[in-house]
Structure 1
Amino acid sequence: MTEDEMRKRRTALFIEHRDLDAAIEALSASDNKDQLQIARLKKRKLRLRDQLSIIEDYLTPDIIA
């Protein structure tokens, strides 16, 4: 995967992460709270965060001070 592809993937993951955040908030605010669905969305959000962290680590150069 090239650096440009990784940057595009990072952007897509950020968007999906933000969308999941909105979905979790909407489900939590509704009268009919589906706790199982909320838990699944939160778990997916955590996996996205891990993927984003891996990509960020790759794209950020190591600087020795």
Structure 2
Amino acid sequence: MLTEEQIAETRASLRELQVEHHDLDQVIDHLMLNPPADDLLVRRLKKRKLLLKDRIVALEHLLQPDALA
């Protein structure tokens, strides 16, 4: 069980990751709509975005009450 402090820290981290994920989405869209896009850069940004999404899901899971408890 998380303490109130851990919950607050996790929520803050979650918000930061969500903002970064959104920003990356905008950058990727911009790069793809304004050729010539740097394919390597776009691939790296997409990979980072996926990693962020995985971390976001993990943090959201931590914040959700356990349905089995």
Q: What TM-score, normalized by structure 1, do the two folds share?
A: 0.92
Which runs of 5 or more structure 2 residues have no equivalent in the other structure? none
Which runs of 5 or more structure 1 residues have no equivalent in the other structure? none
State how 1:30-45 maps to structure 2 within 5 Å. Answer: 30-45=34-49
Count of matched residue positions in the alignment of Structure 1 and Structure 2: 64
Structure 1 residue 32, shift from structure 2 partner: 1.3
Q: 1:17 is matched with which residue?
A: 21
State how 1:25-64 maps to structure 2 within 5 Å. Answer: 25-64=29-68
Q: Which runs of 4+ in 1 moved over 6 A?
A: none
Pairwise CA RMSD of aligned residues?
Answer: 1.1
Q: Deviations over 1:35-65 (max 9, x none)?
A: 110000000000000110110111001124x
Partners of 1:43 and 1:53 lie apart in 2 by: 16
Q: What TM-score, normalized by structure 2, do the two folds share?
A: 0.87
Q: 1:6 is matched with which residue?
A: 10
Identity of aligned residues (%): 39
